[in-house]
Amino acid sequence: MPRAKNNSALGLLRLLLAASVAVPLLLFVVTAWIDRNQDLREAERDLARTSEVMRENAARVFERQRDVADGINDLVQEMNVDEVLAAERPLHEQFAAMIAHIPEIQSVLLVAANGEPLVSAGYYPVPHNVNVSGRDYFKGIIDDSAGSYISAVQVGAINKRVFFGFGQRWTGPDGKTKGVIDIAVSPEYFEDFYRLLVNEEGDYYKGKTLALVRDDGQLLARYPLSPGPLPHLRPPSPFFDAIAKNPDSGLYRKRSIVDPHHPTRVYAYCRVSGFPLYVVAARSDAAILSVWWGAIIGRLTFGIPGTLALFLLTWTALVRTRREEEALAQADAEMLRRERAEQTLLRAQRLEAVGQLTGGVAHDFNNLLTVIIGSVELLERRPEDCEAVRRLARNIKAASERGAEITEKLLSFSRQNHVNPEIVDVNASLRAFEPLLRQAATESVTIVLDLQTDVVPVLLDPGQFEAAILNLVGNARDALPRGGRITIATRSTVIGAGHPELKPGPAMRITVTDNGTGMDADTAAKAIEPFFTTKGVGRGTGLGLSQVYGFAKQSGGDLRIETAPGHGTTVELLLPGGGTLAGLRAAETAPARRRARRGEVVLVVEDEPDVRDVAVEGLRALGYKTLSAGDAEGALAILRQDGRIDLLFSDVVMPGPRDGVQLCDEARRLRPGLKVLLTSGYDTVLGGTPAGTRILSKPYDNTRLAEQVREALQA
C-alpha cells in the first residue's frame, strides 16, 4: 500500500475512533431528552384522560343522588311533619327500597325545619334525641335556601359512619321549604373506584393520586388514603389560580399539600357539570420519570459496553490497517463463492420449474396430438366420405386451436407473449361479451353486470381481456354446482401508495364475485400457479387463473383473490387507465379494410416450407401478389432487385447469420419506408424489435393474417 494512501486510511480511522465515543454520547443525550419530554407529555395526556373518566363517574353518581332526592320529595311533598311521623314506617321502607341498589348511598334522612330527624332509610324508628341543625348541609339548605348542597366529610349522627352529605330542600306544593332531604354519600365508593382506576393501568402509570374536591377546596375523597382528616385547600393556591383561568378543565404543577416533602406533581382537573365539584388526577414528576430513568439505566447498561467494544474494534482496526488488503481479498473470494452457489441454486430452481411445466404441457399436447394423428389417419383411410372429412377436419382444427390456446396461456403467465393494446371501454366490451358469458355460465347460474357509468378507458389487449373474464366466469361457474350468482362489477379508482409496484394514477377495478364454495388459504395461495387445479381429470388444465394473472401483469396491473370456504370468491383485476374517450371513439369509427386494394406485393420470408406455403396461399386468397424466400439472405437478394415490394412479412427466428429483426433493419436500409410485419411462435426476442414494427403471433388464421397485413400496410 502506498504511504500516502496508508496515511489517509490512518487519518480516517482516527476520526472513526473519536466518533465511536462522541456519536453514541450525542445520540444518547438527544434521545434521552426527547424521550423525557415524550414521557412528560404522555403523562399529561393520561392524567387528562383519567380526569375525564372521573368526571363522568362523579356526574352519574350525583345525578343519581339528585334523582333519589327528587323521588323522596315527591313522596312527602304534600305531607306535613305530623303526617310524616305518622307514616314513618312505610316511608322508611320506601326510602330503603329506593337506595337498595345504589352502592354509593349509605342512608337517606328526612329532617324537619328545626333540625329534628323524621324518617331514615337506615333506622326505624329514627332516634328523636338527635338534632342536625348544626350540620353544614342543614345550614346550607335552610339558611341559604340553596337548591342542593354537598357537605364536607363528617361522621353520621345516627350510624356513626363517615360520609359527606348531598342535601336538598324538602318543599311543599307551594315551593316553600319544609325541611331538608339529606343523602349520606360514602367516600369509600369513590376511593374504591379510584383504586381500580389506578391499578388497572399497569406499572407504567403507577404513582397517581386521584381526588374529589369541592369547588371551595374541601377534599371529599382521595386515593391513595392519607393519615388524618382530608385537607381543605385555601386560596391563594395553584388550584384556585388554575380554575380561575380555565373553570372547566386544565393542567397545573405544584408541590403536594398532603405530603409537602414530596416532589412536584402534575395535576389535571375537570369540573363536574351541574355540581360544585371538581375531580383531580395527579402524578409526581418522580413517578413519571421513573420509567424514563429505568430506560436510561438500561441504555447505559447496554450502551457503555457497546461503545467500549466499538472503541476497541476501531482501535484494533487502526493498529491492523496493514492487514486490510488481505481481509478484503478474502471477502472478495467469499463473495465470489457465494455468487457461484446462488447461481447453482437458481439454475436448479429453473430446472425444477421447467420440469413441472414440461409435465403439464406434455400431458395436454399428447392428448391434442392423439386427436390430430388419429384424425389424419382416418382421413387417409376414408378420403371419399365428405361428411367424415369435414368432421375430422373440424376435430383437427379444434385440437390445433386448443394447442395454440395452451401456448398463449403459458406465454401470458410468463409475461413474454406479445400484446396489441388498444384503448378499450371496459363496460361496452362486457356488454357485448355478455351473451357468451351467460352461455358459458349455464342456465343455473345468473350473470349480473354491475357497471359504473363514466369509467376510465383502459389500455389493454381486448382479446386477452375477454379470455381473462371468460376464465374467471368459468371458474366461478365450477364453484356453483347447484347454481347461484356471478357478479361482474366495474369501478373507477386511483392507484396510490398502497400499490408500490404499480404506476400511480387513474385506474379501473374489475371484480368477478360468486357466492359459491370458496377456497381455503392454502388453495388460494396456489391458485395462479400453472397447472394447479382442484377440478377432476379432463375438466381443466390449471392454466386459467395463471393466464388471467399474466394478462393483469402484462397490462401494468395486478390480480388479487379474496375467498373463504363457504363464503364465495372475489377475483379483482386492477388495471391502470390509458387514453381518453375521444381517442376511444376515434378508434371505434376507424374502418377495417382487410383485402388487397391496389395489387400490393408482399415478400414472405419463412424457413419452414409448409408454413411459408400456407402464408403465401392465404395472402393470394386475399388478393395480394407474393414473393417468397426461405431465409434472410434470399430475402435480401430479392429486395436488392428493382421490383415492387409493399410489405416484408418475415419470421423472427430463422437459421443463418441474420434473424427476422436484423433482416428488418437491413431491408429498411435498402428500401426506406418499407412496411414490415414480423411473426413468431415465441417472443423471447421482442425486446429487440424495431420501433413501430407490428408482430403477428403464431399460430394465426387467415382472418388475423388479413387484419395484421392491412394494418401494417396502413401504418
Tens of pLDDT, residues 63-111: 998 999 899 999 999 899 888 888 989 999 898 898 888 888 988 989 8
452 vs 235: CA distance, rounded Å: 69
Q: What is the pLDDT of residue 595?
A: 65
The third-level CATH classification (topology) of the domain covering 189-286 is: Beta-Lactamase (3.30.450)
Q: What is the pLDDT of residue 541?
A: 52
Query: Which residue, 463, 707, 715, 462, is CA-closest to 593?
Result: 707
Residues of the chain within CATH 3.40.50.2300 domain(s) are 592-714
Q: What's the maximum distance between 2 C-alpha atoms anywhere in the chain?
A: 139
Q: What secondary structure does DSSP assign to 492-558, as a single string?
A: EEEE-TT-TTS--EEEEEEEEEE-S----HHHHHHTTSTT---S-TTS--S-HHHHHHHHHHHTT-E
Return the pLDDT at 177: 85
In this prediction, residue 380 carries a pLDDT of 77
pLDDT tens for 443-495 read 788 899 999 888 888 888 877 788 788 888 888 888 888 888 999 999 988 88
Q: Judge whether residue 347 has pLDDT over 90.
A: no
In the chain, list all ranges with CATH 3.30.565.10: 418-587
Q: For a pLDDT cut of 90, what percent of the chain falls above it?
A: 12
The answer, yes or no, to whether residue 410 has pLDDT greater than 70, is no
Q: For residue 507, what is its C-alpha cell?
A: 385506474
pLDDT per residue over 584-612, tens digit each? Answer: 554 444 444 466 767 789 999 999 888 88
65 phi and psi angles, rounded to 5 deg:
-60, -40
Q: Which residue has the higher pLDDT, 453 or 397?
A: 453
The percent of residues above 70 in pLDDT, for the chain, comes to: 76
Which is nearest to 282 in space by CA: 210, 212, 219?
Answer: 210
Weakest-pLDDT range from 101-105, 358-362, 445-449, 499-503: 358-362
Of 313-327, 349-363, 375-389, 421-435, the least confident: 349-363
Greatest mean pLDDT among 113-122, 198-207, 296-305, 308-317 lies in 113-122
pLDDT at 126: 85
Residue in 556, 578, 560, 581 with CA at minimum distance from that of residue 569: 560
For range 551-580, the mean pLDDT = 85
Instruction: Give pLDDT, residue 601.
Output: 93
Give domain 342-413's CATH architecture: Orthogonal Bundle (1.10)
Task: Identify which of 64, 63, 53, 36 has the alpha carbon closest to the alpha carbon of residue 249.
Answer: 53
Q: With cut-offs at 50, 70 and 90, classify the pLDDT of residue 613.
A: confident
Q: Are 81 and 68 in contact (CB under 8 A)?
A: no
Q: What is the residue type of 670?
A: L
Averaged pLDDT of the chain: 78
Q: Which helix (H) or strand (E) covers residue 571, if one does? A: strand 569-576
At 533, the pLDDT band (50, 70, 90 cuts) reads low
CATH entry 3.30.565.10 includes domain 418-587: yes
Specify burial of residue 323 (Cβ count, 10 A radius: 0-12, 13-18, 19+).
exposed
Highest mean pLDDT among 115-119, 134-138, 690-694: 115-119
pLDDT at 354: 46
Mean pLDDT of 547-572: 85
Cα–Cα distance measured from residue 1 to residue 326, given in angstroms and rounded to the nearest whole number: 11
Would you state the pLDDT for residue 235? 75
pLDDT mean over 202-230: 77
The CATH fold assigned to 592-714 is Rossmann fold (3.40.50)
Q: Is the pLDDT of residue 419 over 60?
A: no
Highest mean pLDDT among 200-214, 389-403, 413-427, 566-580: 566-580
More confident residue, 340 or 328: 340
Q: Alpha-carbon distance 339 to 346, whole Å? A: 10
- pLDDT value, residue 637: 92
One-letter-per-residue 3-state SS of 29-70: HHHHHHHHHHHHHHHHHHHHHHHHHHHHHHHHHHHHHHHHHH
pLDDT at 639: 92
> Which residue did the predictor score with more confidence, 441 or 126?
126
Task: State the pLDDT at residue 697.
Answer: 82
Q: With a cut of 80, say whether residue 708 has pLDDT above it.
A: yes
pLDDT of residue 353: 42
Residue 211 scores a pLDDT above 80: yes
Res. 13 pLDDT band, cuts 50 70 90? low
51-57 long-range Cβ contacts below 8 angstroms, 24+ apart: 51/249, 51/268, 51/269, 51/270, 51/279, 51/280, 51/281, 52/270, 53/197, 54/194, 54/197, 54/210, 54/212, 54/270, 54/279, 54/281, 55/270, 55/271, 55/272, 55/273, 55/279, 57/193
Mean pLDDT for 637-641 is 92
Region(s) of the chain under CATH 1.10.287: 342-413
pLDDT digits (tens, 9 = 90+) for 121-172: 888 888 878 888 878 778 778 776 667 888 888 887 666 788 888 888 888 8
Work out the average pLDDT over 554-560: 85
Whether residue 506 has a cis bond before it, omega within 30° of 0: no
SS3 assignment for 418-477 = CCCCEEECHHHHHHHHHHHHHHHHCCCEEEEEEECCCCCCEEECHHHHHHHHHHHHHHHH
